[in-house]
Structure 1
Amino acid sequence: METEGFSNIRFKKETARRFQSFSRMYYKTHTLALAGMLDFFKYNEISPHENLGKRMGLIMDFLQKFRDFTAKRNNATIAIIKDLEKHGVLPTKAMMELLFEGGPTPASKKKGDAMKTELIIPEIQGMDLDTEFALLEERKQRQLLEQELILIKTQISEQLLKRVKIIRPALGPPRLQLEMTLSEWKAFKEHFKIP
């Protein structure tokens, strides 16, 4: 069994200290640190003397836009889940479309090719998430108003319509009579704010 030998390389003291500090921070041995650095440059096909400049700026801009996009998607998801927990409403089609909007969509498909997908980021396409949230809020308000209307109809039916009796006098046409005391009528008017 043959063991690997060691070799001495001469470095300036300041460079050696920097390398040792870096090596201790990220690797177990100096050999692994140097091998990792060499592999990084080889696999990424960049030279240690190359300045990434604009290319790195473009990558960082894209990463920032993607981070902002995912943060907004997460916030939208959390808002929908909280609304569902609070109101116990099943998700509407619009909610689901808003949630999954911006996900991978099919681009073009040629014969024999696998379907390609690309990520659509609303900020890049000029889409306005604030408008979408405003529409969701309006839809939620409409649902609340519809529920309130159903409740009012039920109250009117129970307190007013069920107390109406048809009176058929011996002479004259039939008429309606409300069987309610004056205090009940005043409370009813006050509840529904009838002038």
Structure 2
Amino acid sequence: MDSFTAIRFKKDTAQKFKQYSKHIAPTHTQAMAMMLDFFERNHCTPDEDYGPHLIRLERRVLKRIDSLIAIIKNIEKTQTKPTHAMLAALFQAYEPPKQKLMIEKNDPYLNTEVRFREKKYSNDKDEN
């Protein structure tokens, strides 16, 4: 079991910490540990000016976004567009075979040929 120790804070600071602690962690100890870990992990202190630090961070993120955009454009140029062009060429070169027409004998009364298309078998009754 962990042992506890007392640290003295001014009353208003302690109340402020208790209110904030309720929002970020279940216990005050965990809240304090999370805050200390944050400061240690980011190598910063509360009295530090974060203006230039955040600008540096923003520039780094923007550079990473730019590099991701370059990677995606490269993939599009070298992989997607050629594949799309090959598929388009295949579909343009392929022409479905035209079905032959069945011709009925000449109708002596109409003096013309009567043509019919071959019946396509399908489940839909509208296509007959």
Query: Shorter chain as normaliser: what TM range?
Result: 0.5 to 0.7
Matches within 5 A, 1:171-182: 180=103, 182=113
- Counterpart position of 1:7: 6
What TM-score do you get using the length of structure 1 for normalisation?
0.39
Classify 1:140/1:19 alpha carbon distance in 2 versus 1 (closer, same or farther; 3 Å).
farther
- Rg (Cα) greater in structure: 2
Structure 1 residue 122 and structure 2 residue 69: aligned? yes
Paired residues, number: 108
* RMSD, matched Cα: 4.1
Equivalent residue in structure 2 for 1:38, among 36, 39, 44: 36
Shift of 1:54: 3.2
- Counterpart position of 1:48: 46
The separation in 2 between residues aligned to 1:18 and 1:10, in whole angstroms, is 11
Classify 1:127/1:6 alpha carbon distance in 2 versus 1 (closer, same or farther; 3 Å).
same
- Counterpart position of 1:17: 15
What TM-score do you get using the length of structure 2 for normalisation?
0.53
Structure 1 residue 146 and structure 2 residue 93: aligned? yes
The separation in 2 between residues aligned to 1:129 and 1:21, in whole angstroms, is 50
Classify 1:58/1:8 alpha carbon distance in 2 versus 1 (closer, same or farther; 3 Å).
closer
Q: Which has the higher helix share?
A: 1
3-state DSSP of counterpart to 1:59 = helix
Shift of 1:12: 4.7
Classify 1:25/1:64 alpha carbon distance in 2 versus 1 (closer, same or farther; 3 Å).
farther
Matches within 5 A, 1:89-100: none
The separation in 2 between residues aligned to 1:134 and 1:29, in whole angstroms, is 52
3-state DSSP of counterpart to 2:32 = helix
